[in-house]
Amino acid sequence: MCGIIGIVGKSAVSDRLVEGLKRMEYRGYDSAGICTVFDDQLVRRRAEGKLANLVKVLKTDDAAGNIGIAHTRWATHGAPTTSNAHPHATGEVALVHNGIIENFKQLRDELTARGRTFESETDTEVVAHLVSEQVEAGHSPADAVKAVLPRLRGAFALAIAFRQFPDFLIGARLGSPLVVGYGDGETYLGSDALALAPLTQKIAYLEEGDWVIITRDGAQIFDKDNVPVTREITTSGVSAAQIEKGNYRHYMQKEIFEQPTVVAQTLSSYIRPLEQTVALPQMDFDLASVKRITIVACGTSFYAGMVAKYWFETFARVPVDIDVASEFRYSDPVLEEGGLALFISQSGETADTLAALRHCKENGQTIAVVVNVPTSSMAREADLLLPTHAGPEIGVASTKAFTCQLAVLAALAAHLALVKGKLSAEEEREIVRHLIEAPAALNAALAHDDEIAAMAHLIAPARDVLYLGRGPDYPLAMEGALKLKEISYIHAEGYASGEMKHGPIALIDEAVPVIVLAPSGPLFEKTVSNMQEVRARGGKVVLISDAEGIAEAGDGCLATIEMPTVHPLIAPLVYAVPVQLLAYHVAVAKGTDVDQPRNLAKSVTVE
Ligand code: F6R
């Protein structure tokens, strides 16, 4: 999604703005631009495509000035062309925007009728014109912004520069995050703390409806009713080192390999290793009285939720409804008074999930959130915050956030089972012992990296790939297919193994590799039968199993990947590793842009 940075600085800002945009590349974008205020002029430079194109433009045509705004755009209204790239400007005002102005058509018609002309197809340009009209009529920039914000429907984070005012910028947020960074004689605006990481660690998070004037001396923040407010200045834990690739070729690769560490880090907040018990944060509702859980999430986080459904139902015997967030509100869900709604999100800003959360809140649900960004909107709106401690996830394809989500969800399921009286203290200790084994098992799974890299050429030429799994490995099959689709652009589907014979089996031929996820255990025999159905039709199988499973069913497979033998509880965490590595190495073999796959955004802040 779009990234915003603004600097009111003591020295030239152009290079630092571009550096800030580089740190936000991970969010996904298809054009970029900057605008400085210099010599009573708005100096605007924009380019479609990657940041390198903008840098090229700036090499021949620099943007001087100590104050400026910059933006990476992920196209919504209008193609990713230079004229649609932000900043959008009039003679007086330039601004960058993240989000969607839903009533832009009506505003555009109104502005056109007043004789204003537009140079882009974007929704954003109407905001530049609305603010500009006010300034041209003699209103101060603050009054202009105050007059315009209530006219905007939708979601926005804005950073606005004014030609005649080279000493301040104005920012505003509603629905899309925006932070203020406090430096030494400089002040910044950014989409997140990551964007500002090397500039400052002192961050204030704007709240819904806030707007702010930033100067070299600091910031004046106002709430939605234009009342001056103070927002706590926190020290962001994000260091520049955390957002570097280190010795890895890609962020995704680094993040896959971080999993043993970050899962251990996450688990250490949810278990007491000496007592071997689960320890959840304090909650002001009675977990034991929960009769039904509604889980809502998107993409990879949704698959973590599907695994959790198995755990909540098998351990705690609590029924679970689960839906993707983009469908949830429109299916008119039945939400019983006093129910528990659980939202899972890496970013905590995914617009569909956030809208579903608010819907549940309005309908009397207690809100629990498993989230990786503890300062995110979802984290702030939760009754029970269950943070994952995966650290910043930069690769667009989610990896370490997923396994950390599973770690938290397993602990939650065990605790729920305990308070529901479905688990004895000894059984709880056993579960905790297995969770403690997870980081070492993840390490053992990662040891197969070279072998998986070597087999990537078997999958890379395929047009279609099927992933099969049963029970908690079924969501893993879908997650494997999602990873492959996202970064290698190979069409892939994840199916419940037993469902294959009801249709997808028609696709099987020797050109369609089938990846079977089958740890040995109660579901193994059934999954292997489905695998034999594939092989009987000439299908080429890659079997991912443990030593016992491979000894029993590995003969005749195109390839096998041996996972450590683990308890079924932690199998979903461990089996995530080979599907992530397989997608990664296939993408590398195909030469695609692993960290910034085409069309994708890291945090999807539009519905
Ligand atoms: C897949 C991926 C996406 C996200 C989805 C939800 O690799 O990254 O499918 O999982 O957009 O994002 P969060 O978890 O931030 O709500």
pLDDT digits (tens, 9 = 90+) for 100-111: 899 999 999 999
Give residue 597's pLDDT.
86
Q: What are phi and psi of 8, to 5 degrees?
A: -105, 100
pLDDT of residue 75: 85
Q: What integer is the mean pLDDT of 107-122? A: 96
- Please report the pLDDT score of residue 534 as a whole number: 87
CATH superfamily placement of domain 3-242 = Aminohydrolase, N-terminal nucleophile (Ntn) domain (3.60.20.10)
The protein residue with its alpha carbon nearest to ligand 1, atom 4, reads 299
Domain assignments of the chain as residue spans, ordered by start: 3-242, 245-446, 447-593
Given this model, what pLDDT does residue 365 score? Answer: 95
Model pLDDT, residue 296: 98
Nearest ligand 1 atom to the CA of 347 is 15
Helix axis angle for 571-590 and 449-459, nearest 10°, is 50
> Nearest residue CA, atom 7 of ligand 1?
397
Ligand 1 probe mutation, 26, 74, 300, 482, most atoms within 8 A of CB:
300
Strand order in the sheet with 41-48: 41-48, 31-38, 67-73, 3-8, 187-190, 179-182, 202-205, 233-235
Task: Give, using CA atoms, the residue closest to atom 5 of ligand 1.
Answer: 299
Q: Which atom of ligand 1 is nearest to the CA of 603?
A: 15
The catalytic position among 254, 485, 540, 602 is 602
362-375 core/surface letters (b: 16 or more CB in 10 A; e: else): eeebbbbbbbbbeb
For residue 273, the model assigns a pLDDT of 87
Whole-angstrom distance, CA of residue 482 vs CA of residue 559: 21
Q: How far is the CA of 305 from the centre of ligand 1 (A)?
A: 12
Give the ligand 1 atom nearest the CA of 486.
7
Report pLDDT digits (tens) over 569-585.
899 999 999 999 999 99
Task: Kindly list the distances between the CA atom of residue 513 and the CA atoms of 14, 60, 509, in Å, as whole numbers in the listed order.
Answer: 49, 49, 8
Per-residue CA distances from 275 to 246, 278, 377, 465 (Å): 37, 9, 34, 45
Smallest CA-to-CA distance from 26 within 3, 59, 60, 49 is with 3
User: pLDDT value at position 578?
Assistant: 98
Q: How far is the CA of 297 from the centre of ligand 1 (A)?
A: 9
pLDDT tens column, 293-335: 999 999 999 999 999 999 999 999 999 999 999 999 888 889 9
Closest Cα to atom 11 of ligand 1: 299
End-to-end Cα separation, the chain, in angstroms: 12
- CA–centroid distance, 534 to ligand 1, in Å, is 31
Pair of tokens at residue 56? 């090229």
| For the chain, counts of helices (H) and of strands (E) | 18, 27
Compute the distance from residue 315 Cα to the ligand 1 centre, in Å: 27
Instruction: Give which of 170, 160, 157, 169 is closest to 209, Cα–Cα.
Output: 157
**Residue 527: what residue type?**
T
Centroid of ligand 1 to alpha carbon of 299 (angstroms): 5
Report how far ligand 1's centroid is from the alpha carbon of 303 (Å): 10
pLDDT value of residue 179: 96
Q: Out of 27, 353, 398, give the residue to mutate to test ligand 1, the one with the largest number of ligand atoms within 8 Å of its CB.
A: 398
Residues contacting 136, CB < 8 A, separation 6+: 92
Given 2, 298, 360, 557, which residue is catalytic?
2
Taking the C-alpha atoms of residue 277 and residue 426, their distance in angstroms, rounded to an integer, is 9
Known active-site residue 526: no
Task: Give me the DSSP letters along 279-344.
Answer: -PPP-SS-GGG---EEEEE-HHHHHHHHHHHHHIIIII---EEEEEHHHHGGG-----TT-EEEEE
DSSP letter at 195 equals T
Q: Which atom of ligand 1 is nearest to the CA of 353?
A: 16
Residue 577 host element (H or E): helix 571-590
In the reported structure, the alpha carbon of residue 92 is separated from the centroid of ligand 1 by a whole-number distance in angstroms of 38
pLDDT band at 274 (very low <50, low <70, confident <90, very high): confident
Residue 1 clears pLDDT 80, i.e. is over it: no
Q: Whose CA is nearest to atom 16 of ligand 1?
A: 345
Confidence of residue 501 (pLDDT cuts 50, 70, 90): confident
Q: Which of 579, 502, 5, 518 is nearest to 259 (CA)?
A: 579
| CB-CB contact of 600 with 300 (8 Å) | no
* Percent of all residues in the chain with a pLDDT value above 90, rounded to a whole number: 82
Are 81 and 29 in contact by the 8 Å Cβ rule? The answer is no
Residue to substitute in 347, 579, 606 for testing ligand 1 pocket (most ligand atoms within 8 angstroms of CB): 347
- Whether 70 has a pLDDT exceeding 90, the answer reads yes
Give the pLDDT score at 149: 97
Residues 122 and 87: beta-carbon distance below 8 Å = no
Taking the centre of ligand 1 as the mean of its atom positions, its distance from the CA of residue 602, in whole angstroms, is 7
Residue 322, strand partner residues: 295
| Ligand 1 atom closest to 300 (CA) | 10
280-313 burial, b for 16+ CB within 10 Å, e for fewer?
A: beeeeeebeebebbbbbbbbbbbbbbbbbbbbbe
Task: Work out the pLDDT band at 261, boundaries 50, 70, 90.
Answer: very high
Strand partners, 559: 542
Distance of CA 183 to the CA centre of its chain: 28
pLDDT at 390 over 80: yes
What is residue 576's predicted lDDT score, i.e. its pLDDT?
Answer: 98
Q: What pairs with residue 44 in β-bridges?
A: 35
CATH architecture of 447-593: 3-Layer(aba) Sandwich (3.40)
Mutate to test the pocket of ligand 1, among 295, 301, 485, 486 (most ligand atoms within 8 A of CB): 301
Instruction: Point out the ligand 1 atom lying closest to the alpha carbon of residue 401.
Output: 14
Is pTM beyond 0.95? Reply is no
pLDDT tens for residues 324-365? 999 998 888 899 888 999 999 999 999 999 999 999 999 999
Write out pLDDT tens, residues 406-450: 999 999 999 999 999 999 999 999 999 999 999 999 999 999 999
- The mean per-residue pLDDT over the stretch 34-47 comes to 97
Q: 486 alpha carbon to ligand 1 midpoint, in Å?
A: 11
For ligand 1, pick from 604, 605, 606, 607 the residue to mutate: most ligand atoms within 8 Å of CB: 604
Identify the pLDDT of residue 411.
96
> Which residues form ligand 1's pocket by a CB distance below 6 Å?
298-301, 345-347, 350, 353, 397-398, 482, 486, 603-604
> Do residues 582 and 412 make contact, with C-beta atoms less than 8 angstroms apart?
no
Query: Which residue type is seen at 515?
Result: I
Assess whether 404 carries a catalytic annotation: no
Q: How confident is the model at residue 284 (pLDDT cuts 50, 70, 90)?
A: confident
Range 245-446: architecture per CATH: 3-Layer(aba) Sandwich (3.40)
- Tell me how far apart the alpha carbons of residues 70 and 190 are, in angstroms, rounded to a whole number: 10
Q: What's the residue count for the chain?
A: 607
Ligand 1 centre distance from Cα of residue 359 (Å):
20
Residue with CA closest to ligand 1 atom 9: 299
What is the number of the ligand 1 atom nearest to the C-alpha of 399?
Answer: 7
Structure confidence at residue 504 as a pLDDT band (50, 70, 90): confident
pLDDT of residue 516: 96
Domain 245-446 in the same topology as domain 3-242? no
Q: Are 599 and 255 in contact (CB under 8 A)?
A: no
Name which of 423, 155, 390, 453 is nearest 311 in CA terms. 423
